[in-house]
Amino acid sequence: MRRTMKVLTVVLFVASLASSVEAQQKPDDKGQVILSWDQFVKITGYDPAKGGPTMLSIPWKDVQDLLGVKVENVGNRTMVDLPWTEFKALLAWSMKRKEKPEESPPTDYIVTSSEYKGTLDDQKGDFELKLKLDVLKKQGWKRIPVLPLTVAVTGTTLPKGVYLNARDKVYELLVSESGAMEVTLTFSVAATKAAGVHGIDFQRVAAGSSVLDLTVAGTDVEVKVANAQALTSRKEGQKTRVAAHVPGNVALAITWQREIPKAPPVPAKLYVETSTLVAVAEGMLLCTETVGYNILHSGVRELKLRVPTGASVMTVSGRNVQDWRVSAAGELSVVLRGEVTGPYSLEISYEQPAADSVEIPVVRAVGVVRERGYIAVVALANVEITGGVASGAATVDVRRLPQQLVGMTNQPILLGYRYVADRFRIPLDIKKHGELDVLVTIVDAASFTAMQLSDGRRISRVIYKVRNNRNQFLRMTMPTDAEIWSVSVSGRPASPARDEKGSVLVPLVRSRASASELASFPVEIVFVETPKQAPETHGTLHVELPTLTVPLMQVMYTYYLPPEGYYPPVVHAAAFKGRLRPVQQFAMLASDERGREVYYNANAAAAQLQQQVDRRTQAQVRATGATPIRVRLPINGKQYKFERILVLPGDKLWFEMTYSNWKVAD
């Protein structure tokens, strides 16, 4: 039984013992096992009295405690026997198996700190470089670059196992050991001089940021270190001591020169040039002024200006404006987020009530050496502006005004002024004129297509090209006994209304802006006229057109008559009466949104009218449930064209013509 248990549990025992031993290894991890003698005897059963090789007997309970496992069906009194030599061999094998391979560090070394301590003179700079390194890689030789070959190394202090070597344009350390170490190198760098400025520069090879401790002879020396994140300078006896922090991956560049004495602080000097746009509206002057500063010597954070009496400041804008306010005395204070020097500008908008006579208000800068400015006057209303006799200012041609001022408005500039005096006065006389009514709706063209049936009915389709600014309706008076079939506005169906006088009101839309004018849109109306009595086989046709309340530029009326009848030729003007005249071709007055001439296609319009009549007839028949009857219009009949140019609001349009040989329908 014991022999069997020995064979089955020997590997588990050795693994457990190796784990116990690992917990007591030295920190240097060299594979040593440290046990007290009593612990060793208790665990192994070694008999020191016998000495030499012996058999070790270990209780199973202790084996379970060491392994940290529970094996079923094994008694607690079971012992494990193992020869001493085999125990040592298995123990060595188990410890070797438990050892983990050593991981390679992510980098061979780390520069924990680098300090350059130097003494500078006109010829050279002597430096001492102290490097603190932490070498992570344990096996093999390591190369650590420290200085460029452009410097002259004069001395070294190296720990054991560290050597200085020159290779690939750098000085490098050859290191065989690992762990923390400190290296000291002394070297010299030649100084340069140009325009009274001394300089030393070289490339830092060692990685990481650096601390500089520099000493320069003299107390009137100004030292600069390029890319330094912090630099302090102090006087020590007859020398100047400078400390600086330089980030990594940048060259070390040091310059020094005789310190220029600082000039005593002087007050700021301000020079101002203004550009003021004065827009004359109804009873109000709307002003926009650009105040351009040139600030010299010292920075300023607050700007003060004087607002004209009666003017109200609306907005103040400019770079880094924090706050602004106007006092009861009319002083405008503008507070900036920080001091400014050099060019700076403010834009101020303000307004002032205006009567028939008013002086141009200009916001003036306070506490400036010199101020000059330009003024432009424009009109935003129907007013007549004349300039009075100015004092302290001169009139200028508007073409000589600054381009910045001209670009502040799209309105024509009426008057221009220039001032340089501390005080000036520019009076304006404003005369208001009454406004005239202008057209808000106009019809560019009306294209009629009318079809005369032999039973006396007349079906007409008219397309008005309308330009509308703000009218709600197109008001018209329809011919007697006319019935409107359909109305569409800008391609969409519309529902007309009728006022108390019987006029038809067609709702309008507002024209879209196109280039410099409003674009026209179509208003289409289809209507039919039914006479009270049937026509004769011969007689006179009387045709009336709708009467509009807006101007109409051109009327084109295409009239189709039954083909069997006889009608007078167009050249016989005496056979026609009315306010429209017969023509061979229409005049080309109509145009589209782009200004191109629009040719009226009478045949296409007649075909569209035939389709509308068919749809109307079929809709009426479907409503009654009867068999549809197709109404044929005389689109192949005899065609006449009538025209009129310029129809004024309220003008009634009509014409008459004779006919004969009609076959009157029943």
What is the predicted pLDDT for the residue at 641?
93
* 104-146: pLDDT as tens digits: 888 889 998 899 999 999 899 999 999 999 998 888 899 999 9
With residue 97 as reference, give the H or E element that holds it: helix 84-98
Asked if the structure places residue 263 within a domain, the reply is: no
Residue 551, burial from CB neighbour count under 10 angstroms (0-12, 13-18, 19+): middle
Q: Rounded to an integer, what distance in angstroms lies between the CA atom of residue 510 and that of residue 441?
A: 10
Say how many C-beta atoms besides its own lie within 10 A of residue 210's C-beta.
Answer: 21
Strands (E) located in 380-426: 383-387, 393-395, 415-419
More confident residue, 220 or 627: 220
Number of structural domains the chain divides into: 4
Structure tokens at 95: 């410890």
Tell me the three-class secondary structure of 477-489, residue by residue: ECCCCEEEEEEEE
What is the predicted pLDDT for the residue at 48?
59
* 368-388: pLDDT as tens digits: 999 999 999 999 888 889 999
What is the predicted pLDDT for the residue at 210?
87
Shared domain check, 632 and 521: yes
Helix axes 2-22, 84-98, angle to 10 degrees: 50
For range 310-339, the mean pLDDT: 95
pLDDT band at 34 (very low <50, low <70, confident <90, very high): low
Say how many C-beta atoms besides its own lie within 10 A of residue 452's C-beta.
Answer: 26
For range 598-609, the mean pLDDT: 58
* 464-512: pLDDT as tens digits: 999 998 889 999 999 988 999 999 999 899 999 999 999 999 999 988 8
Say how many C-beta atoms besides its own lie within 10 A of residue 386's C-beta.
Answer: 11
What is the predicted pLDDT for the residue at 570?
84
Shared domain check, 29 and 68: yes
CATH of the domain at 359: 2.60.40
Question: Domain ends where: 206, 233, 258?
Answer: 258
Q: Rounded to an integer, what distance in angstroms lies between the CA atom of residue 32 and that of residue 35?
A: 10
Say how many C-beta atoms besides its own lie within 10 A of residue 60's C-beta.
Answer: 19
Shared domain check, 311 and 231: no
For range 205-224, the mean pLDDT: 86
> Is residue 182 predicted with pLDDT exceeding 90?
yes
Shared domain check, 605 and 498: yes
Shared domain check, 226 and 146: yes
Q: Rounded to an integer, what distance in angstroms lies between the CA atom of residue 193 and that of residue 210?
A: 25
Does residue 332 contact residue 307 with C-beta atoms inside 8 Å?
yes
Shared domain check, 417 and 452: no
Q: How many residues does the chain have?
A: 666
* 433-466: pLDDT as tens digits: 776 666 688 999 999 999 998 888 999 999 999 9
Shared domain check, 459 and 334: no
**448: β partners:** 462, 557
Shared domain check, 570 and 652: yes
Shared domain check, 163 and 77: no
Asked if the structure places residue 169 within a domain, the reply is: yes
What is the predicted pLDDT for the residue at 509?
92
- On average, the pLDDT of the chain sits at 83
Coil, strand or helix at 108: coil
More confident residue, 598 or 437: 437
User: Which of 658, 447, 422, 436 lies closest to 555, judged by CA?
Assistant: 447
Asked if the structure places residue 533 within a domain, the reply is: yes
CATH of the domain at 640: 2.60.40.1730
> Is residue 19 predicted with pLDDT exceeding 50?
no
Give whole-number Cα distances, 275 to 288, 340, 343, 380, in Å: 8, 21, 15, 19
Coil, strand or helix at 98: helix
pLDDT band at 26 (very low <50, low <70, confident <90, very high): very low
What is the predicted pLDDT for the residue at 608?
64
Helix (H) and strand (E) counts for the chain? Answer: 6, 45
Shared domain check, 422 and 477: no
Does residue 276 contact residue 295 with C-beta atoms inside 8 Å?
no
The listed range with the strongest mean pLDDT (10-14, 279-283, 380-384) is: 279-283
Asked if the structure places residue 635 within a domain, the reply is: yes
Lowest mean pLDDT among 155-159, 255-259, 522-526, 631-635: 631-635
User: Which of 490, 461, 481 lies closest to 611, judged by CA?
Assistant: 461
DSSP string, 242-286: EEEEE-TTS-EEEEEEEPPPPPPP---EEEEEEEEEEEEETTEEE
Structure tokens at 70: 């529970």
Q: Which domain holds residue 10?
A: 2-98
What is the predicted pLDDT for the residue at 14?
42
Structure tokens at 280: 């004359």
Asked if the structure places residue 461 within a domain, the reply is: yes
Q: CA triplet 559, 639, 526: central angle to 5 degrees?
A: 30
Asked if the structure places residue 665 within a domain, the reply is: no
What is the predicted pLDDT for the residue at 168?
87
> Is residue 305 predicted with pLDDT exceeding 60?
yes
For range 292-318, the mean pLDDT: 95
Q: Rounded to an integer, what distance in angstroms lies between the CA atom of residue 295 and that of residue 303?
A: 11
Q: Rounded to an integer, what distance in angstroms lies between the CA atom of residue 522 and that of residue 488?
A: 8
Percent of the chain with pLDDT over 70: 79
Shared domain check, 156 and 216: yes
Asked if the structure places residue 666 within a domain, the reply is: no
Report the phi/psi class of residue 52: left, alpha or beta, with left for phi > 0 and alpha for psi in -120 to 50.
left
pTM over 0.75: no
What is the predicted pLDDT for the residue at 91?
62
Asked if the structure places residue 104 within a domain, the reply is: no
Does residue 598 contact residue 590 with C-beta atoms inside 8 Å?
yes
Question: Domain ends where: 219, 235, 258?
Answer: 258
Q: Rounded to an integer, what distance in angstroms lies between the CA atom of residue 17 and that of residue 67?
A: 8
What is the predicted pLDDT for the residue at 664?
77
pLDDT band at 406 (very low <50, low <70, confident <90, very high): very high
Q: Rounded to an integer, what distance in angstroms lies between the CA atom of residue 462 and that of residue 504?
A: 15
For range 292-310, the mean pLDDT: 94
Question: Domain ends where: 67, 98, 129?
Answer: 98
Shared domain check, 395 and 334: yes
